A = this chain, B = another copy of it.
Amino acid sequence: MRLYDYHESGNAYKVRLLLSQLQRPYERVEMDILAGETRTPEFLALNPNGRIPLLTLDDGTQLAESNAILFYLAEGTRFLPDDRLGRARVLQWMFFEQYSHEPYIAVLRFWAFAGLLEANASSIPEKRERGEAALAVMDRHLGQREFFVDDRYTIADIALFAYTHVAEAGGFDLSRYPRVTSWLARVQRQPRYIAITQLE
């Protein structure tokens, strides 16, 4: 398999982390998204939506969208429940991540490292407020739970971990969410965990 990646991308890191934990070998292709490498005609022929991560399967099939890739790789493994309701709950948290979490928490981090905070100053308060709301929903859900679904580590945790554990780079204070910080530590203790900076 080939993973089109970007080293700072939490969405791509989700796939790298699961591939490490599944012990699946793959070829990594770094795409400089800041230089427009995902918007060239060549890359748009692979993914018309012009985004990484993109996974090329051994038969040449292209699969896009980080959480769809996670679901594909996790089916039949311990990282995805084998009952219908468990799978639906995992998907519920993965859709929460892409709709109510990533557009705020990941985007503020991206603006910070890409030097775009000033250009987007008027949008920051709303991004901040919605990101805090997402962290509060997570903290409330975790309660006495160890993980997001069925009290075991699944791809729902991987999807939510990716941008939550680096949220402070976007100005969020995670110490306000003690159950989230405990859960982050539990994820980091999983076998074959790799850091976001660990590329292969």
Contacts and interface: CB of A to CB of B under 8 A. Distances in A.
Contacts of A103: 99, 103
- Number of this chain's copies in the complex: 2
A140 interface: yes
Interface in A51-101: 57, 61, 63-69, 71-72, 75-76, 84-85, 87-89, 91-92, 94-96, 98-100
A21 interface: no
A85 B68 contact: no
Interface residues of A, number: 35
Contacts of A85: 57, 61, 63, 72
- Could you tell me the dominant secondary structure of chain A's interface residues? helix
A186 interface: no
Contacts of A48: 137, 140-141
Contact of A84 (B75, B98, B100): B75
A68 B95 contact: yes
A122 interface: yes
